[in-house]
C-alpha cells in the first residue's frame, strides 16, 4: 500500500532480457488520487525505449554480386531514409531498416545505416532511390554500409 502523499511505489524489481540485453523492469502501484474512478492500479514499467524513426521510403538498387561485405543492403529491398531535409511520411522502429542521409563538406551526398556511427562504413556498391519528388537528390544515393 501507499503511504499518505505517495503517488507511486515500486513493489517489485527484476531484470528482463530484450534483444540480448538486460533491461531494468519493475511493478508500480499508482495512487488512487491519480485516477478518476478512485481505484489504485498496479502497472508494469520498463526502461525499454522504442525509437520511432520518421522519413521517406526508398528502394535498393544492387549489382548481381555483393560488394558490401555482408552490409545491410545485401538482402533488403527497402529502407526508411531519415535526416536533415527528409520528408517524414513513414515510420520505422527497427534501426537496422533505417538509413541516414548525409552531405559531406565537399557536397557529396550519401547515406549510411542508422546502426553505424557516422563515417564508420564505406561505399558497398549499392544505391537507394525513390521516384517520390521529395527524394533529396536527382540521382540515387550511395549506401555506405561496407565494413572491412
pLDDT per residue, tens digit, the chain (148 aa), is 555 555 455 555 566 666 676 666 655 555 555 455 555 555 554 444 557 889 999 999 998 888 888 888 999 999 999 999 999 999 988 888 999 999 999 999 999 998 887 778 888 899 999 999 999 999 999 999 988 7
**Between the CA atoms of 3, 7, 8 and 9, what dihedral angle is there, to the nearest 10 degrees?**
-20
Q: Is there a single domain that holds both residue 69 and residue 135? A: yes
Q: Which domain holds residue 40?
A: 8-46
Residue partners of 37: CB distance under 8 A and separation at least 6: none
Does 25 fall in a domain? yes
DSSP E strand stretches across 19-97: 21-30, 41-46, 53-61, 78-82, 90-92
CA dihedral 81, 82, 86, 87 (to 10 degrees): 80
pLDDT at 52: 81
Asked if residue 2 is part of any domain, the answer here is: no
How much is the pLDDT for 58?
Answer: 97
Residue 1 falls inside a structural domain? no
Q: Are residues 117 and 61 in the same domain?
A: yes
User: Coil, strand or helix: which one is 13?
Assistant: strand
Clarify whether residues 32 and 66 are in a common domain. no
- Give how many domains the chain has, as a whole number: 2
Amino acid at each position: 500500500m501507499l503511504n499518505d502523499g505517495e503517488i507511486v511505489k515500486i513493489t517489485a524489481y527484476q531484470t528482463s532480457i530484450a534483444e540480448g540485453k538486460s533491461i531494468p523492469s519493475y511493478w508500480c502501484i499508482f495512487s488512487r488520487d491519480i485516477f478518476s474512478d478512485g481505484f489504485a492500479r498496479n502497472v508494469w514499467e520498463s526502461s525499454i525505449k522504442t525509437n520511432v524513426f520518421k522519413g521517406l521510403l526508398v528502394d535498393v538498387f544492387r549489382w548481381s554480386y555483393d560488394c558490401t561485405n555482408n552490409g545491410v543492403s545485401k538482402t533488403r529491398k527497402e529502407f526508411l531514409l531519415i535526416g536533415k531535409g527528409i520528408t517524414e511520411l513513414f515510420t520505422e522502429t527497427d534501426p537496422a531498416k533505417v538509413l541516414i542521409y548525409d552531405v559531406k563538406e565537399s557536397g557529396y551526398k550519401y547515406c549510411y545505416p542508422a546502426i553505424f556511427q557516422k563515417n564508420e562504413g564505406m561505399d558497398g556498391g549499392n544505391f537507394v532511390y525513390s521516384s517520390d519528388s521529395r527524394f533529396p537528390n536527382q540521382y540515387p544515393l550511395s549506401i555506405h554500409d561496407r565494413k572491412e
